[in-house]
Protein backbone atom coordinates (compact mmCIF):
# COMPACT_ATOMS: atom_id res chain seq x y z
CA UNK A 1 0.00 0.00 0.00
CA UNK A 2 1.13 3.49 -0.73
CA UNK A 3 1.90 5.89 2.09
CA UNK A 4 3.34 9.34 2.64
CA UNK A 5 5.40 10.55 5.57
CA UNK A 6 6.11 14.18 6.26
CA UNK A 7 9.00 14.61 8.65
CA UNK A 8 8.25 17.30 11.19
CA UNK A 9 4.75 18.46 12.01
CA UNK A 10 6.04 21.99 12.66
CA UNK A 11 8.88 23.84 10.98
CA UNK A 12 9.97 27.33 11.98
CA UNK A 13 12.23 29.55 9.88
CA UNK A 14 13.21 33.18 9.86
CA UNK A 15 12.05 35.46 7.09
CA UNK A 16 14.56 35.24 4.26
CA UNK A 17 15.85 31.82 5.29
CA UNK A 18 15.69 28.60 3.31
CA UNK A 19 12.48 26.59 3.60
CA UNK A 20 12.82 22.80 3.52
CA UNK A 21 9.78 20.59 4.08
CA UNK A 22 10.41 16.87 3.90
CA UNK A 23 8.26 14.23 2.27
CA UNK A 24 8.97 10.55 1.80
CA UNK A 25 6.68 8.14 0.05
CA UNK A 26 6.33 4.44 -0.38
CA UNK A 27 5.01 3.12 -3.64
CA UNK A 28 5.37 -0.06 -5.60
CA UNK A 29 4.77 1.75 -8.87
CA UNK A 30 6.05 5.05 -10.22
CA UNK A 31 4.01 7.61 -8.31
CA UNK A 32 2.50 10.95 -9.08
CA UNK A 33 3.34 13.36 -6.30
CA UNK A 34 1.82 16.65 -5.24
CA UNK A 35 2.42 19.43 -2.76
CA UNK A 36 -0.56 21.43 -1.58
CA UNK A 37 -0.74 24.48 0.69
CA UNK A 38 -3.58 25.31 3.05
CA UNK A 39 -4.20 28.63 4.78
CA UNK A 40 -6.38 28.66 7.93
CA UNK A 41 -9.97 27.65 7.27
CA UNK A 42 -9.33 27.42 3.54
CA UNK A 43 -9.24 24.68 0.98
CA UNK A 44 -6.07 23.23 -0.51
CA UNK A 45 -4.18 24.97 -3.30
CA UNK A 46 -1.77 23.12 -5.54
CA UNK A 47 1.85 24.26 -5.27
CA UNK A 48 3.39 21.80 -7.71
CA UNK A 49 3.15 18.28 -9.06
CA UNK A 50 5.50 15.57 -10.27
CA UNK A 51 4.23 13.57 -13.22
CA UNK A 52 7.48 11.89 -14.34
CA UNK A 53 8.38 14.52 -16.93
CA UNK A 54 11.23 16.12 -14.96
CA UNK A 55 12.69 15.34 -11.57
CA UNK A 56 13.01 19.00 -10.56
CA UNK A 57 9.60 20.58 -10.47
CA UNK A 58 8.96 24.30 -10.14
CA UNK A 59 5.73 25.53 -8.67
CA UNK A 60 4.00 28.71 -7.68
CA UNK A 61 5.26 31.31 -5.21
CA UNK A 62 8.91 30.34 -5.72
CA UNK A 63 8.59 26.78 -4.42
CA UNK A 64 10.21 23.79 -6.03
CA UNK A 65 10.62 20.10 -5.29
CA UNK A 66 12.96 17.39 -6.45
CA UNK A 67 11.87 13.81 -7.03
CA UNK A 68 14.57 11.39 -5.90
CA UNK A 69 13.61 7.84 -6.67
CA UNK A 70 16.62 6.33 -4.88
CA UNK A 71 15.63 8.11 -1.68
CA UNK A 72 11.84 7.86 -2.27
CA UNK A 73 11.67 11.54 -1.43
CA UNK A 74 9.95 14.63 -2.76
CA UNK A 75 11.12 17.45 -0.50
CA UNK A 76 9.75 20.97 -0.95
CA UNK A 77 12.10 23.94 -0.89
CA UNK A 78 12.07 27.69 -1.26
CA UNK A 79 15.28 29.74 -1.16
CA UNK A 80 13.90 32.65 0.84
CA UNK A 81 10.88 32.50 3.14
CA UNK A 82 8.27 35.24 3.18
CA UNK A 83 5.83 35.93 5.99
CA UNK A 84 3.03 35.03 3.60
CA UNK A 85 4.41 31.48 3.33
CA UNK A 86 3.16 30.68 6.83
CA UNK A 87 0.60 27.93 6.29
CA UNK A 88 0.13 24.17 6.42
CA UNK A 89 1.70 22.10 3.68
CA UNK A 90 0.61 18.66 2.54
CA UNK A 91 2.45 16.14 0.45
CA UNK A 92 0.26 13.66 -1.41
CA UNK A 93 0.68 10.68 -3.70
CA UNK A 94 -1.63 9.41 -6.40
CA UNK A 95 -1.44 5.89 -7.82
CA UNK A 96 -2.29 6.87 -11.35
CA UNK A 97 -2.29 10.62 -11.71
CA UNK A 98 -5.72 11.01 -13.23
CA UNK A 99 -7.53 10.75 -9.96
CA UNK A 100 -8.28 12.82 -6.91
CA UNK A 101 -8.02 9.70 -4.79
CA UNK A 102 -4.96 10.93 -2.97
CA UNK A 103 -3.00 9.64 -0.03
CA UNK A 104 -1.90 12.53 2.13
CA UNK A 105 0.86 13.01 4.60
CA UNK A 106 0.04 14.35 8.03
CA UNK A 107 0.91 17.89 7.10
CA UNK A 108 3.64 20.31 8.16
CA UNK A 109 2.87 23.69 9.64
CA UNK A 110 5.37 26.31 8.52
CA UNK A 111 5.97 29.24 10.83
CA UNK A 112 7.89 32.24 9.50
CA UNK A 113 9.44 34.53 12.09
CA UNK A 114 10.19 38.18 11.38
CA UNK B 1 -14.80 31.64 -13.00
CA UNK B 2 -14.70 27.86 -12.75
CA UNK B 3 -14.34 26.28 -9.37
CA UNK B 4 -15.77 24.22 -6.55
CA UNK B 5 -18.27 25.70 -4.16
CA UNK B 6 -18.93 24.22 -0.75
CA UNK B 7 -21.70 25.43 1.46
CA UNK B 8 -22.17 26.36 4.17
CA UNK B 9 -18.72 27.38 5.40
CA UNK B 10 -19.68 26.76 9.04
CA UNK B 11 -22.32 24.32 10.22
CA UNK B 12 -23.53 23.42 13.66
CA UNK B 13 -25.46 20.25 14.38
CA UNK B 14 -27.07 18.79 17.42
CA UNK B 15 -26.23 15.25 18.35
CA UNK B 16 -28.54 12.75 16.73
CA UNK B 17 -29.30 14.90 13.70
CA UNK B 18 -28.36 14.23 10.12
CA UNK B 19 -26.83 17.09 8.15
CA UNK B 20 -26.01 17.50 4.47
CA UNK B 21 -22.98 19.34 3.12
CA UNK B 22 -23.18 20.75 -0.37
CA UNK B 23 -20.51 20.56 -3.06
CA UNK B 24 -20.98 21.97 -6.55
CA UNK B 25 -18.42 22.26 -9.34
CA UNK B 26 -18.54 23.96 -12.74
CA UNK B 27 -15.22 22.59 -13.99
CA UNK B 28 -16.89 19.82 -16.00
CA UNK B 29 -14.93 17.26 -14.01
CA UNK B 30 -16.15 13.68 -14.02
CA UNK B 31 -14.76 12.70 -10.64
CA UNK B 32 -15.59 14.15 -7.24
CA UNK B 33 -14.31 13.37 -3.76
CA UNK B 34 -15.03 14.03 -0.11
CA UNK B 35 -12.23 14.27 2.44
CA UNK B 36 -12.28 14.73 6.16
CA UNK B 37 -9.53 16.72 7.87
CA UNK B 38 -8.66 16.41 11.54
CA UNK B 39 -5.72 18.16 13.22
CA UNK B 40 -2.48 16.23 12.82
CA UNK B 41 -4.03 13.54 10.63
CA UNK B 42 -3.92 15.00 7.18
CA UNK B 43 -6.87 14.33 4.91
CA UNK B 44 -8.75 11.05 4.77
CA UNK B 45 -11.01 9.94 1.95
CA UNK B 46 -14.68 9.42 2.81
CA UNK B 47 -16.38 8.74 -0.53
CA UNK B 48 -15.67 9.32 -4.18
CA UNK B 49 -17.54 9.22 -7.46
CA UNK B 50 -16.02 8.84 -10.89
CA UNK B 51 -19.24 9.05 -12.90
CA UNK B 52 -22.83 10.09 -12.35
CA UNK B 53 -24.98 7.63 -10.42
CA UNK B 54 -21.98 5.73 -9.15
CA UNK B 55 -19.83 6.15 -6.05
CA UNK B 56 -17.44 4.14 -3.91
CA UNK B 57 -16.49 4.10 -0.25
CA UNK B 58 -13.21 5.56 0.79
CA UNK B 59 -11.21 4.78 3.88
CA UNK B 60 -13.63 6.19 6.46
CA UNK B 61 -17.13 5.86 4.96
CA UNK B 62 -18.92 4.64 8.08
CA UNK B 63 -21.56 7.11 9.22
CA UNK B 64 -21.63 8.99 5.93
CA UNK B 65 -23.69 8.78 2.75
CA UNK B 66 -23.51 10.44 -0.66
CA UNK B 67 -25.38 10.75 -3.92
CA UNK B 68 -24.32 11.70 -7.42
CA UNK B 69 -27.42 12.49 -9.43
CA UNK B 70 -25.78 15.25 -11.45
CA UNK B 71 -22.26 15.67 -12.74
CA UNK B 72 -21.95 19.03 -11.02
CA UNK B 73 -23.11 18.00 -7.56
CA UNK B 74 -21.88 15.58 -4.91
CA UNK B 75 -23.60 16.19 -1.55
CA UNK B 76 -22.38 14.48 1.61
CA UNK B 77 -24.72 13.54 4.44
CA UNK B 78 -23.27 13.11 7.89
CA UNK B 79 -25.62 10.77 9.69
CA UNK B 80 -26.25 10.29 13.38
CA UNK B 81 -24.28 7.05 13.10
CA UNK B 82 -21.03 9.01 12.70
CA UNK B 83 -19.52 8.88 16.17
CA UNK B 84 -17.25 11.89 15.92
CA UNK B 85 -18.49 14.17 13.17
CA UNK B 86 -16.82 17.41 14.27
CA UNK B 87 -14.22 18.08 11.58
CA UNK B 88 -13.33 20.12 8.51
CA UNK B 89 -14.78 18.61 5.34
CA UNK B 90 -13.24 19.22 1.93
CA UNK B 91 -14.70 18.43 -1.45
CA UNK B 92 -12.50 17.96 -4.51
CA UNK B 93 -12.91 17.26 -8.19
CA UNK B 94 -10.63 15.99 -10.89
CA UNK B 95 -10.49 15.19 -14.58
CA UNK B 96 -10.31 11.50 -15.31
CA UNK B 97 -8.88 11.55 -18.82
CA UNK B 98 -5.33 12.71 -18.19
CA UNK B 99 -2.73 13.32 -15.52
CA UNK B 100 -3.86 16.30 -13.57
CA UNK B 101 -4.38 17.57 -10.07
CA UNK B 102 -7.41 17.59 -7.79
CA UNK B 103 -9.08 20.94 -7.23
CA UNK B 104 -10.44 21.62 -3.77
CA UNK B 105 -13.31 23.65 -2.41
CA UNK B 106 -12.96 26.02 0.54
CA UNK B 107 -14.30 23.49 3.01
CA UNK B 108 -17.12 23.22 5.53
CA UNK B 109 -16.38 23.20 9.23
CA UNK B 110 -18.92 21.04 11.02
CA UNK B 111 -19.32 21.28 14.76
CA UNK B 112 -21.58 19.06 16.83
CA UNK B 113 -23.07 20.89 19.78
The pLDDT tens digits of the residues spanning B68-107 come to 999 999 999 999 888 899 999 999 999 877 767 889 999 9
- Ranges A21-25, A28-32, A53-57: which has the least confidence: A28-32
User: CB of A109 within 8 Å of any CB in chain B?
Assistant: no
Residue B73 gets which letter from DSSP?
A: B
Alpha-carbon distance B112 to A94, whole Å?
32
A18–B contact, CB cutoff 8 A: no
User: Is B75:B21 a contact under the CB 8 Å cutoff?
Assistant: yes
More confident residue, B11 or A94: B11
Residue A98 has a pLDDT of: 65
Q: B8: cis peptide before it, omega within 30°? A: yes
Q: What is the largest CA-CA distance in chain A?
A: 42
In this structure, is the dihedral angle defined by the CA atoms of residues A39, A69, B31 and B101, taken in order, positive or negative? positive
Residue of A nearest to B4 (CA): A43
Cβ of residue A36 closer than 8 Å to a chain B Cβ: yes
Question: B90 to chain A nearest CA, in Å?
Answer: 7
Residue of B6, B21, B18, B22 whose CA lies nearest to B63: B18
Q: Is A24 on the interface with B (CB under 8 A)?
A: no
Whole-number percent of chain A with pLDDT over 90: 72
Residue A54: the pLDDT is 84
Question: pLDDT tens digit string along B18-32?
Answer: 999 999 999 999 999
Positive/negative CA dihedral, A31, A32, A37, A43: negative
What pLDDT shows up at residue A88?
96
Considering only A45-49, A65-69, A107-111, B1-5, which range has the smallest mean pLDDT? B1-5
Distance from CA of B9 to the nearest CA of A (A): 9
CA distance B49 to chain A (A): 10
* Cβ contact A68:A77 at 8 Å: no
Could you tell me which chain A residue has the CA closest to the CA of B91? A43
Secondary structure, 3-state, A75-97: EEEECCCCHHHCEEEEEEEECCC
Per CB-CB distance under 8 Å, the chain B contacts of A51 are 99
Amino acid sequence: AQSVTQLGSHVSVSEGALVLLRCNYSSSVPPYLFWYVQYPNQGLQLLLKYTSAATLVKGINGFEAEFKKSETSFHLTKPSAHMSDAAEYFCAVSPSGNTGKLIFGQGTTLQVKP
Amino acid sequence: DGGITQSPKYLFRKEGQNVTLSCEQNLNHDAMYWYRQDPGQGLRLIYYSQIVNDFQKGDIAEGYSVSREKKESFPLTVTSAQKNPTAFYLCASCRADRVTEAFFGQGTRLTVV
